[in-house]
Amino acid sequence: MKYLAYIILIGSFFACSSKTKVPKNILSQQEMNLVMWDLMRADEYTETYIMKDSSLNKKAETQKLYNQIFSLHGISNEKFQTSINFYQSRPDLLKQIIDSLRRNERRAIDERIIDEKTSSISVNVKKKIKAKQAN
C-alpha cells in the first residue's frame, strides 16, 4: 500500500510538471509573447496608416509586415502557426501569454499618456518662457 502511494505521488508529480513543459518545436511563452506583441503592433499600424491609403491591399501589406516580424524573430510562419495551435490547445498557457500582452499594452498606454502630458507641459513652459522674454 505504501508503495502504491509513492507511485501515485511520483506519477502525479511528473504529470503536473509535463503540463507546463513546452515541446522543443514550439516557441516558449516568452518568445510567443514577443512575437504576438509585434504582430499586434503591426495590426495597429495597418489599421492606423495603411487603411487610409486605398491604393494599398490591406491583407498583402499586413502579410509583408508579419513576414518581417517573423524574420526579425528568426522564425517561420509555419513555426508560429504550430506554436499558436499548441497554445490554443493549452488554454492555461495561452492565458498567461494573453495576460502578459495585456500588461504590455497597459504599460504602453501609460507611457503614451505620460509622454503626451510631458510634451504638453513642456510646450506650455516654453510659451511662458517666450512670453516672459518678450516682456
pLDDT of residue 129: 65
Threshold 0.85, pTM exceeds: no
Mean pLDDT of the chain: 80
pLDDT digits (tens, 9 = 90+) for 46-83: 888 877 777 778 888 899 999 999 999 999 999 999 99
pLDDT digits (tens, 9 = 90+) for 27-37: 999 999 999 99
pLDDT of residue 40: 92
What are the backbone angles phi and psi of residue 32, rounded to the nearest 5°?
-65, -40
pLDDT of residue 50: 76
Provide the Cα torsion 93, 96, 99, 103; round to 10°. -140
Q: What angle do CA 86, 89, 91 make, to 5 degrees?
A: 110
pLDDT category of residue 102 using cuts at 50, 70 and 90: very high
- Per-domain residue ranges of the chain: 26-103
Do residues 62 and 51 make contact, with C-beta atoms less than 8 angstroms apart? no
